């Protein structure tokens, strides 16, 4: 930076005679040093403000160089902010919309839907299906359960009413208590009951999408629909739930478990068994233990061997998801750290260039009484200001990316203030760490040699 940009003006006949208010402040500072007193706090604050102004002025004057200088810091901070925003939003969304069974509920699967080990998945596929007899064994043995239910699930159902049809409908075969565990409420009609189960009644409870797409403008109760070619009478309509990760939660049909097994067969149609304990904590653990013991005995699992089934709770499912999201977050932090280091090195190089360009200015400042600490502080503040500017731009870019993706594809996001603060603190730390060397180099310059320097 030239002397004029730094706040100095001079004549060719007298290059050592500063004529600006900035120089007057430095003369006052030299006089204070000669008297053996420290500069007043007001003067110190003025010097800090001047250093910040010079740094911002340098950014504005050299726009292309500024963009290249701050690019690494901007990318690093933006990546952190965007990932934290996505991960936090998805974690909240998963807890609220997906794994929302309740803290007192456990589920038993042939293979857990949250399995993360390929070998475990392949081995688990060889297990025997869970049957109605397994369900009955759990219901009889679980003394700490207030409710035990079972369900099957077919995700490729085809539902037709008159000439209208809808595909990819989830067809659930359920026992009466499953609606309570799944927290399914009705907007009209009644829920499936034990009589429907015992008689294999061809009746169904449908989701709001079935009514909206196939029976708009008519009362669906009592109407007959065809589910994969079989006729069922609508006896209830579920309350509208909306979408989950872009997929409708209202495109379903619930029929009695016995009717489902009659239509689709028991082969390769393993049940999901659900239990609701008295409460969370110890009662839930005892209920899980009772269910596990009953199933191990029923399925003749070897003593000391692995279970031939998987048991999950809301906490365990959330724990698996949280572990996955944390791994993703840590990987992104590593990539962002590399970007921040590169950005810091670029800032250090630019500050070294700035020290070279302003060698005569440094010499004049020292000749007028500026101490090493004053010069060190000035260049350190400029480095931190550069890095903070990149941090602010990175925060804005990260938030903008998160909000844009949320608008385009519906991915949930949640902006965390601690992440914004962390991004700014990290960027400032990068400025301090990589600005120390250029600042020390400037502070150690000999004033006589600096005044003789020609750029």
Query: Is the Cβ–Cβ distance between 360 and 447 less than 8 Å?
Result: no
346 and 285 inside one domain = no
- Note whether 339 and 400 are same-domain residues: yes
Task: Note whether 302 and 345 are same-domain residues.
Answer: no
325 and 304 inside one domain? no
Answer yes or no: is 3 within a domain: no
CB 272 within 8 A of CB 109: yes
Domain extent, residue 222, equals 128-308
Co-location of 134 and 244 in the same domain? yes
Q: 116 in a domain, yes or no?
A: no
Look at residues 264, 287, 308 and tell me which one is the last residue of a structural domain: 308
Is 110 a domain residue?
no
If 0-12 CB within 10 Å is exposed, 13-18 middle and 19+ buried, where does residue 205 land? buried
Q: pLDDT value at position 56?
A: 74
- Asked whether residue 336 falls in the same domain as residue 439, the answer is yes
Is 199 found in the same domain as 228? yes
Q: What is the DSSP code string of 342-367?
A: HHHHHHHHHHHHHHHHTHHHHHHHHH
Indicate whether 118 belongs to any domain: no
Q: Is residue 156 part of a domain?
A: yes
Q: Same domain for 208 and 333?
A: no
| CA 125 and chain centroid, separation | 32
Identify the pLDDT of residue 382: 82
Q: What is the pLDDT of residue 455?
A: 56
* Residues 77 and 90 sit within 8 Å (Cβ to Cβ): no
pLDDT by position in tens, the chain (length 455): 444 434 443 333 343 444 334 444 444 444 444 444 455 555 555 567 776 777 677 667 777 777 778 888 888 888 888 888 877 777 777 666 555 567 788 999 988 877 777 777 788 888 888 999 999 999 999 998 999 999 998 888 999 998 889 998 999 999 988 888 888 889 999 999 999 999 999 999 999 999 999 988 889 999 999 999 999 999 999 998 877 666 788 899 999 999 999 998 877 788 999 998 888 888 889 999 999 999 999 998 888 888 889 888 877 777 777 777 778 788 888 888 888 888 888 888 888 888 888 888 888 888 888 788 878 888 888 888 888 888 999 999 988 888 888 777 666 777 888 888 888 898 888 888 998 888 888 888 887 877 877 65
Structure tokens at 116: 């993360």
The C-alpha atoms of residue 388 and residue 344 are separated, in whole angstroms, by: 11
pTM (two decimals): 0.61
Domain count, the chain: 2
Query: Are residue 148 and residue 284 in the same domain, yes or no?
Result: yes
What is the distance between the alpha carbons of residues 446 and 248, in angstroms, rounded to a whole number? 73
Q: What is the 3-state secondary structure (H, E, C) of 364-378?
A: HHHHCCCCHHHHHHH
**Are 328 and 385 in a shared domain?**
yes
């Amino acid at each position: 930076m030239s002397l004029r940009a730094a706040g100095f003006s001079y004549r060719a006949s007298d290059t050592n005679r500063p004529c600006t208010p900035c120089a007057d402040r430095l003369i006052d500072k030299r006089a204070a040093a000669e008297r053996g007193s420290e500069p007043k706090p007001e003067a110190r604050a003025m010097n800090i403000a001047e250093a910040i102004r010079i740094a911002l002025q340098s950014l504005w004057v050299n726009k292309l160089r500024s963009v290249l200088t701050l690019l690494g810091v901007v990318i690093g901070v933006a990546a952190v902010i965007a990932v934290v925003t996505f991960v936090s939003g998805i974690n909240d969304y998963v807890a609220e919309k997906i794994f929302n069974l309740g803290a007192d509920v456990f589920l038993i699967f042939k293979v857990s839907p949250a399995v993360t080990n390929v070998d475990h998945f392949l081995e688990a596929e060889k297990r025997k299906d869970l049957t109605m007899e397994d369900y009955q064994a759990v219901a009889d043995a679980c003394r700490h359960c207030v409710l035990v239910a079972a369900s099957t699930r077919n995700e490729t159902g085809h539902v037709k009413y008159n000439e209208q049809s809808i595909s990819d409908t989830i067809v659930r075969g359920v026992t009466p208590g499953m609606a309570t565990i799944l927290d399914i409420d009705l907007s009209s009609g009644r829920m499936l009951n034990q009589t429907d189960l015992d008689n294999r009644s061809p009746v169904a409870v449908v989701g709001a999408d079935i009514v909206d797409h196939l029976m708009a403008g008519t009362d669906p109760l009592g109407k007959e629909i065809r589910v994969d070619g079989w006729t069922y009478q609508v006896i209830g309509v579920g309350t509208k739930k909306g979408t989950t990760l872009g997929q409708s939660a209202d495109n379903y049909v619930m029929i009695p478990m016995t009717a489902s097994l009659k239509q689709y067969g028991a082969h390769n149609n393993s049940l999901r068994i659900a239990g609701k304990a008295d409460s969370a904590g110890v009662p839930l653990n005892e209920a899980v233990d009772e269910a596990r013991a009953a199933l191990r005995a029923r399925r003749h699992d070897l003593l000391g061997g692995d279970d031939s089934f998987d048991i999950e709770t809301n906490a365990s499912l959330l724990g698996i998801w949280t572990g996955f999201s944390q791994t993703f977050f840590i990987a992104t932090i590593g990539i962002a750290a590399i970007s921040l280091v590169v950005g810091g090195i670029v800032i250090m190089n630019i500050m070294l260039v700035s020290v070279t360009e302003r060698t005569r200015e440094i010499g004049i400042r020292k000749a007028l009484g500026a101490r090493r600490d004053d010069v060190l502080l000035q260049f350190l503040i400029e480095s931190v200001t550069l890095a903070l500017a990149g941090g602010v731009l990175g925060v804005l870019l990260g938030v903008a990316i998160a909000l844009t993706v949320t608008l385009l594809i519906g991915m949930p996001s949640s902006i965390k203030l601690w992440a914004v603060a962390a991004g700014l603190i990290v960027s400032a730390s990068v400025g301090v760490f990589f600005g120390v060397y250029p600042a020390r180099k400037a502070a150690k310059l000999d004033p006589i040699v600096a005044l003789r320097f020609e750029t």
